[in-house]
Structures are given as C-alpha cells and as structure tokens.
Amino acid sequence: MQDKIEKLREKALKLIEDVKSSEELERARVSLLGKKGEITGLIRSIGKLPPEERPLAGKLLNALKREVEEKIEEKRKTLPKVRKVKIDTSIPGRRPKTGALHPLTRIEEEIVDIFMRMGFSVEYGPEIETDYYNFTALNTPEHHPARDLHDTFYLEDGNLLRTHTSPVQIRVMEKKKPPLRIISPGRAYRFDPFDPSHSPVFHQVEGLWVDRDVSFSDLKGTLEAFGKELFGKETRIKLVPHYFPFTEPSAEVHLSCPFCKEKGCRVCKYTGWVEIAGCGMVHPEVLRGVGIDPYQWTGFAFGMGVERIAMLRYGIDDIRNFYENDLRFIEGLR
Ligand code: PHE
C-alpha cells in the first residue's frame, strides 16, 4: 500500500506540474480528487485493508490529499485567470437599432388624432363579423354584388371577415343613442389579388356623425378640414357622386393630388385628383334598422383607406411594401 501511495504521489505531482491552462488544471483535480478520482478511490479502499495496516494508510493518504490540494492551489496562482482579449478601441461603435411604429400604424394614429381634435371618439369592432352586421344591417340586400364570393372571405361557420369597417357603425348605433360622433380604425379583408394596388388585408378608418340636422355640407366641411390637416392648407376635396347601399346620397372623396398640386402627375394618373374614401348621408333604412328615427336624426358616414393615404403621404406606388416587412423599406420611411 505504501508503495502504491508513493507512486500515485509522484504521478499526481507530475500531472500538476505539467498543467498549462486552468482547464487542464481542473481536469487534473477531478482525476485525482473528484468523486471518481484516484486518491479518493484509494481512501475509500482503506476499509478493505487488514485492520493493522489501516492507521498508517489513512495517515499517508490524508497527507497526500492535503499536499495535492496545496499544489493545485499553488499552480492555480501561476496560471493566467482569463485569456487576454485584445480590444481595438479605434473600431467605430455599432449603433443598436431602435424600434419604431410601422408606417401604417403611424398614419392611422395621425388620422385618429385629427378626428379626435374635431370631437370624434374612437370605437372598435370585431374583424370576424356576421353577415348581418357586414351586409344586411347596412342595407345591402342579398343579391348585391358586394356579397359575391369573390369579394368576401367566408368562414366555415357562416361568419365572415369584415369587408369594411362600416359594421362598426351599426354596432355603435345599436348601443348608443344619438348624438354620436365616432371614428373606428381597423383592418378589413377582401378576396383580392396581392398586387401593387390591392392587398387581401387592408386598413380603414370609419367615421360616423349622427345628430339633428347633420347635412351633406357638414360632411364636406369635415373631410376638407381633415385633408388640410393631413396634407397642408392648399389641399382641396371633391365629392364625386357614387353608390353605396348604406348611404344616400353617396360620394367618393377625391383629394387634390399632394404631389403635383392638381397639375397632373404619375401618382394621380394626370387627373390632379386621387380617391381616398367613400362617404355619404346615412341611409334612412339603416337608421330605422337600429331604432333611430330618420325624421328626427340625420347623419353622415365615411370610410377611408389608410394604405392609400399612407402611399400618398410617403410617395409609395406599391401597397405590398407595407406587408413585406423589409426593414430597408420601413426604416426609409421614418
Ligand atoms: N364602407 C365603404 C367601403 O368600404 C366606404 C363607406 C363608408 C362609404 C361609409 C360610405 C360611408 O367602400
């Protein structure tokens, strides 16, 4: 046994001597003093020796253990603690990217903000709608082409993805009594191809004002004030007769082209005007359907395309840019 211990001692001291890094030192420590280490193994085997040999073996092994521990500590002090990393202080720093709101979100917030300053409050409605709110209550009879399978995403349970934000008009008028002055921003869906001017998902801001004696000129004044706020003082608004089942009369809202100031350019297709919204006086049938007496109350409504306005604002000619999340595009618009 004594021999064995002496041999192990030599081996252990050599092992520690030869170590060149702190990793190697740790490996050496484990191989000697770890749970399955050689010294630990010998200490455990003391119990198997004849009783008269045990005291000496114990003494020697304890001494060995202590000596090896000390040597390891000594060695540790001679080894470099961390590998030295060379730092080149002349390299320019890398600026961390800051997060920012998506351009559509920012334009939507701007639109909402302008209307809030005109006294409108904000309401929200569900994107999954029933046929009733999306069509029927909006005076859209069953044979109306807007119900065509090609335009609407129908769900298996018979519900649909709202094709516009107008169902929120109904939900609000069912809940609250006039006078009402609300806007409702949100997503809408149509079964359209994804091309430069169409996206199957897009954003609208709906507006609704119901009060006594609300007139078509109130509608025009409101939209004109909005246009000037968003695109500048020279901006003009033109209402072009149109048809919507839920408004009468109805119009398309045309905005004087913010790029060429009505001179005609590529953006406005050389007409000087761009369409940004649909609008009209709330149809008496729609009011009656939600229990509002059309002889007592009148209202106007509008629904504007957020993408269209953002494209005009930023001078973008392809709607798909908003949905591809290419950071080079999104950051370029800040
Ligand atoms: N909902 C119509 C559309 O999406 C726009 C609209 C809203 C028209 C309100 C009139 C009144 O095309």
Cβ–ligand 1 distance for 244 under 6 Å, the answer yes
Structural domain includes residue 89: no
Q: Which domain holds residue 238?
A: 103-332
Final residue of a structural domain among 78, 113, 142? 78
Instruction: Say whether both 148 and 257 belong to one domain.
Output: yes
Cβ–ligand 1 distance for 209 under 6 Å, the answer no
Structural domain includes residue 88: no
User: Helices marked H in the chain — which ranges?
Assistant: 2-18, 22-33, 38-45, 54-78, 103-117, 131-134, 167-175, 216-231, 284-289, 306-314, 327-332
Report the alpha-carbon distance of residue 313 to residue 193 in Å, rounded: 24
pTM over 0.75: no
Structural domain includes residue 322: yes
Atom index in ligand 1 nearest the CA of residue 165 equals 1
Instruction: Say whether both 74 and 163 belong to one domain.
Output: no
Instruction: Say whether both 232 and 162 belong to one domain.
Output: yes
Q: How many CB atoms lie within 10 A of CB 37?
A: 18
> What does the pLDDT read at residue 181?
98
Q: Return mean pLDDT, the chain.
A: 92
Q: Report the CATH number at residue 201.
A: 3.30.930.10
Structural domain includes residue 83: no
Cβ–ligand 1 distance for 278 under 6 Å, the answer yes
Phi, psi of 62 (to 5 degrees): -60, -45
Place of tokens 């709110």: 133
Q: Output the CA angle 137-140-145, nearest 5 degrees.
A: 150
Number of domain units in the chain: 2
Per-residue pLDDT tens digits for 145-191: 767 766 899 999 999 999 999 999 999 999 999 999 999 999 999 99
Structural domain includes residue 98: no
C-alpha of residue 307 to centroid of ligand 1, in Å: 15
Report the alpha-carbon distance of residue 146 to residue 226 in Å, rounded: 28
Atom index in ligand 1 nearest the CA of residue 208 equals 9
> What does the pLDDT read at residue 149?
64
Cβ–ligand 1 distance for 280 under 6 Å, the answer yes
Structural domain includes residue 92: no
Instruction: Say whether both 29 and 141 belong to one domain.
Output: no
Residue nearest to atom 12 of ligand 1 (CA): 278
C-alpha of residue 67 to centroid of ligand 1, in Å: 89
Q: What is the DSSP secondary-structure string of 129-160?
A: E-HHHHTGGGT--TT-GGGSTTT--B-TTS-E
Instruction: Say whether both 234 and 305 belong to one domain.
Output: yes
Range 38-50 average pLDDT: 88
C-alpha of residue 151 to centroid of ligand 1, in Å: 15
Structural domain includes residue 86: no
Range 38-43 average pLDDT: 88
Instruction: Say whether both 251 and 125 belong to one domain.
Output: yes
Q: How many CB atoms lie within 10 A of CB 48?
A: 7
End-to-end CA distance of the chain: give it in Å, rounded: 80
Rg (CA), the chain: 39
Question: Exposure pattern of 285-314 as b/e (b: 16+ CB <10 Å)?
Answer: ebbebbebeeeebbbbbbbbbbbbbbbbbe
Instruction: Say whether both 216 and 268 belong to one domain.
Output: yes
Instruction: Say whether both 316 and 219 belong to one domain.
Output: yes
Range 302-325 average pLDDT: 93
Instruction: Say whether both 112 and 186 belong to one domain.
Output: yes
Structure tokens at 308: 């269209």
Instruction: Say whether both 249 and 127 belong to one domain.
Output: yes
Do the bridges between strand 237-244 and strand 298-305 make them parallel or antiparallel, or are there none, so unpaired? Answer: unpaired
Cβ–ligand 1 distance for 303 under 6 Å, the answer yes
Mutate to test the pocket of ligand 1, among 120, 133, 164 (most ligand atoms within 8 A of CB): 164
One-letter identity of residue 241: P
Structural domain includes residue 277: yes
Range 99-116 average pLDDT: 95
Residue nearest to atom 9 of ligand 1 (CA): 302
pLDDT band at 57 (very low <50, low <70, confident <90, very high): confident
Instruction: Say whether both 307 and 206 belong to one domain.
Output: yes
Instruction: Say whether both 28 and 113 belong to one domain.
Output: no
Phi-psi region of 139 (alpha: psi -120 to 50; beta: other; left: phi over 0): left
Is the pLDDT confidence value at 334 over 70?
A: no
C-alpha of residue 243 to centroid of ligand 1, in Å: 10
Among the listed ranges 26-30, 231-235, 252-256, 328-332, which one has the minimum average pLDDT value? 328-332
